[in-house]
């Protein structure tokens, strides 16, 4: 397992991050703990959860799994979504952040969170209030670093500017959806993260299972892609463009003697600006397959072919800049 620094911080994280959204749901507690122990044993150190995953059960299982191994683990969780019925049980106001952080610490059975992330922008709360609360958690020693997730580029840049102006802690990372079948972040977010040295830890790196290679053009009757709503719904994934990308992934997998899932993850590991893709697994077999993406490097020719097959169409202003802009 190789390691990378998270953004402009000095925090070293493993090249793969183990996502725990299924812990306590489709993944049993015993299998969840076995995955974490094996991940740590093979050099992985980066775990991602959230206070709303399985109504907090995921955090509880993660806390049990890392008991006695806390110092070697980089633990990430999130705050934003509703966790109760009263009006202040969601958002990123100072009140909810402080309450939610204490609740997460209790479920995780730890004194501190390594990376505390804002799950989604909150239009009701000034970003100054949010960042001040997060900065205070860092000062109190309850949080080490802060990040965000599912932001627009302007929201991330505004947050960084406020932190710089007020001398608050900066977001060191962002957690966006990003994969060979979801490259919208290439429009603005990736260049911003490279410019500001913000780490990128993508969720859904396998397109919600689409890139595992087990789907055909027939609508599935089982699995995550049967969902009628959400980013991994069949309606969003089953496009001609995505099936062309999937065919390129299958071809690369055959040539490399790897699985499609391993190829999709390995492509991300070579993508400039990507720190650690977050992979999840419902079963130990899926976990083992995904771990096979680490420890090797995809050849240039295959990486370029996948990059070309999955690239966004030429769009303004990039199209204009590429044609007319000159360094001098």
Q: Any idea which residues carry the catalytic annotation? A: 53
CB of 132 within 8 A of CB of 86?
Answer: no
Q: CA 80 to CA 154: how far, in whole Å?
A: 19
The beta-strand segments (E) located in the chain are 3-5, 12-14, 17-19, 46-48, 74-79, 113-118, 143-149, 171-175, 199-200, 278-279
Radius of gyration of the chain (CA): 20
Q: CA 237 to CA 9: how far, in whole Å?
A: 35
Residue-wise DSSP of 128-173? HHHHHHHHHHHHTTSEEEEEEES--HHHHHHHHHHHHHHTPPPEEE
Q: CA 105 to CA 125: how far, in whole Å?
A: 23
Q: CA 264 to CA 246: how far, in whole Å?
A: 9
- Which two tokens mark 137? 């958690």
The number of beta carbons lying within 10 Å of the beta carbon of residue 83 is: 18
For residue 177, give the nearest of 107, 104, 233 by alpha carbon: 233
């Amino acid at each position: 397992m190789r390691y990378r620094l998270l953004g402009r911080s000095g925090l070293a994280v493993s090249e793969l991050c183990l996502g725990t959204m299924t812990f306590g749901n489709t993944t049993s507690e015993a299998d969840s703990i076995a995955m974490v122990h094996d991940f740590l044993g093979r050099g992985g150190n980066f775990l991602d959860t959230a206070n709303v995953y399985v109504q907090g059960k995921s955090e509880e299982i993660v806390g049990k799994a890392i008991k006695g191994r806390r110092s070697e683990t980089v633990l990430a969780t999130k705050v934003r979504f509703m966790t109760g019925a009263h009006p202040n049980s969601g958002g990123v106001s100072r009140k909810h952040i402080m309450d939610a952080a204490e609740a997460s610490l209790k479920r995780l059975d730890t004194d501190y969170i390594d990376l505390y992330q804002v799950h989604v922008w909150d239009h009701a709360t000034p970003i100054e209030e949010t960042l001040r609360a997060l900065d205070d958690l860092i000062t109190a020693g309850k949080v080490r670093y802060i990040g965000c997730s599912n932001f627009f580029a302007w929201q991330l840049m505004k947050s960084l500017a406020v932190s710089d102006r007020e001398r608050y802690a900066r977001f060191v990372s962002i957690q966006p959806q990003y994969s060979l079948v979801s490259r919208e972040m290439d429009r603005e977010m990736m260049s911003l993260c490279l410019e500001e040295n913000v780490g990128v830890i993508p969720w859904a790196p396998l397109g919600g299972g689409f890139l595992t290679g087990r789907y055909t053009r027939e609508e599935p009757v089982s699995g995550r892609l049967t969902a009628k709503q959400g980013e991994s719904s069949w309606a969003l994934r089953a496009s001609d463009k995505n099936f062309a990308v999937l065919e390129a992934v299958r071809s690369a997998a055959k040539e490399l003697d790897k699985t499609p899932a391993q190829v999709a993850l390995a492509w991300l590991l070579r993508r400039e600006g990507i720190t650690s893709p977050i992979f999840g697994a419902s079963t130990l077999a899926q976990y083992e397959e995904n771990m096979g993406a680490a420890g090797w490097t995809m050849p240039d020719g295959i990486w370029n072919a996948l990059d070309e097959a999955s690239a966004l169409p030429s769009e303004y202003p990039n199209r204009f800049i590429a044609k007319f802009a000159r360094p001098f």
